[in-house]
Structure 1
Amino acid sequence: MAKKNKTPWPTRAVMNQIYEQHLWGGKAYDFYSGFGSHDPTIVEPYLEAIKAFIKSHINTLEVCDLGCGDFNIGKHLVKHTKKYIAIDIVESLINRNKKLFHNKNLEFHCLDIAKDEIPLADCVILRQVLQHLSNSEIKHVIEKLVNFKYIILTEHLPIGVFTPNQDIISGQGIRLKLNSGVNLLEPPFNFKIKDEKQLHEHILEEKSGRIVTTLYQTF
């Protein structure tokens, strides 16, 4: 059972505000996790890549989705897993997801992944989550990632050469405006892995970056 630290961090208040005020768009929705979770040109090839990896383990993978959002992505993956644990920092969002999505191998938890203990699984999915966090919070998340054999990380990155891991204040924005993006293998994180493989890359229009999904194996 994951342990929840009751002391709030500012990130929880920021993420609540983002969903309450629809700062990522989608005012027609009750909760909306941004175009990256709804644009078919982004979502469909991403899902095909992730499904292919999960299916290669013949329904034996336990998956922990850190930052599951409105679950427009995760709902397509649950049936291919042995167990699917979906986590988000926004309590009202998790309560909503619990009402909408049901499966015998699916469970939802409201946790702050930087501060709280998170459930163990074979594989962790972090889809465009770390890009919104400060370096300090990312370091706290990394301390827990060593417990997962597989990490599927998706990040919005600049096109071409960029300086990785410029620090930001956790919130709505990302490092793109600093010509930066998250790279866990570079300082100050220096995350140690056994192997890596790029699963998918989507180039956004108008040179607004690229969304890259990488599979890391830690042991």
Structure 2
Amino acid sequence: MMNPVSDQRQGPIRDHLYTYADGKEFEGKTPEEVFTQIYQGNLWENSQSVSGHGSTPEQTAEILRLLPGMLRRLGVKTLIDVPCGDFNWMQHLDLSGIAYTGADIVGELIESHRLKYAREGVQFEHFNLLRDTLGAYDLVFCRDCLVHFSIGDIHRALDNIRTSGSRYLMTTTFTGQTENRDIPTGGWRPLNFQLPPFNFPEPVMLLNEKCTEWDGLFGDKSLGVWRVDA
């Protein structure tokens, strides 16, 4: 696991980042307003991807390498990617034999994706995970999403996923995180889904992303897989 930042520095630096990305400027706005504002203003300030630093080739190389094999082992034939963001890295994933649905709360993104990327087996939907009814998929792929939601909105999203009839959830989890803080939706903080208030069991599979952001401060960033229909 890549993590050159010492344990003594880790806590204070992470605390600083919570303050930096606390999302207070988004209070009182709907989730669609929040994420549309982030998209239109490129508020995550990345020149390669409006979806942020985590969607660059460097930060997704390990996922592109390992995820296809994981999907095969899970028997995934239908997948919804929510949020699909700007599709910057997912367009390079081997989706052979998988019906892919990219879903996002930002309508402008979906309109653009339908023109540029839609093809047989690849479709896009304007979708609000907190409001719209989710259909049944083999895998709900939910990377870098719930970390931006308030605790209340995370529970709403998870309830939607649980009642969808889907088989698996794959979502971002930070295995070294020791507490889960609340924020307004639109902010950011790391989450460990095996801790309260979520208390997920051990994941069926775990993919460490080898995240190098902030000099390896988030080397525990992973994609965990859990059964939804268990």
User: What's the TM-score once normalised by structure 2's chain length?
Assistant: 0.76
Match of 1:178 in 2: none
Counterparts of 1:129-144 in structure 2, within 5 Å, are 129-144=145-160
Counterpart residue number, 2:13: none
Cα distance, 1:14 vs. partner? 0.9
132-141 or 41-50, which deviates more: 41-50
SS for the counterpart of 1:124 is strand
The 1-side partners of 2:177 and 2:71 are apart by 31
Residue number among 211, 214, 218 corresponding to 2:224 in the alignment: 214
1:185: Cα distance to partner? 3.4
Mapped contact 2:140–2:170 kept (Cα < 8 A): yes
RCO greater where, 1 or 2, for CA within 8 Å and sep 6 or more?
A: 2
Deviation at 1:102, TM superposition (A): 2.2
Distance 2:177 2:92 in 1: 34
* 2:54 counterpart of 1:36: yes
RMSD: 2.3
Contact 2:141 2:170 in 1 (8 A): yes
Give the residue type in structure 1 aligned to 2:156.
Answer: H
Distance 2:210 2:203 in 1: 22
2:209 is equivalent to residue 189 of structure 1:
no
Amino acid of the structure 2 residue aligned with 1:166: R
| Match runs of 1:31-70 below 5 Å | 32-38=50-56, 40-56=57-73, 61-70=77-86
Q: Return 5+ residue gaps in structure 2 as ranges.
A: 1-28
Q: In structure 2, what is the Cα distance between the partners aligned to 1:77 and 1:209? A: 23
Q: How many aligned residue pairs are there?
A: 197
Identity %: 26
Q: 1:207 to 1:75 in 2, by over 3 A?
A: closer
Higher fraction of strand? 1
Moved beyond 4 Å, runs of 4+:
none
Shift of 1:44: 1.2
Determine the structure 2 residue equivalent to 1:4: none
1:121-161 per-position Cα deviation (integer Å, ceiling 9, x unaligned): 10110111100000111101111222321211124x48x45
Question: What residue number does 2:9 align with?
Answer: none
2:168 to 147, 150, 158: 150
1:104 Cα offset (Å): 0.7
Q: Give yes or no for contact 1:88–1:110 (8 Å, CA) kept in 2.
A: yes
1:50-129 equivalent positions in 2, closer than 5 A: 50-56=67-73, 61-77=77-93, 79-129=95-145
**Residue 97 to residue 17, structure 1, CA distance change in 2 (3 Å):** same
Q: What SS does the corresponding residue of 2:204 show, helix, strand or coil? A: strand
Cα separation, partners in 2 of 1:99 and 1:121, compared to 1, 3 Å: same
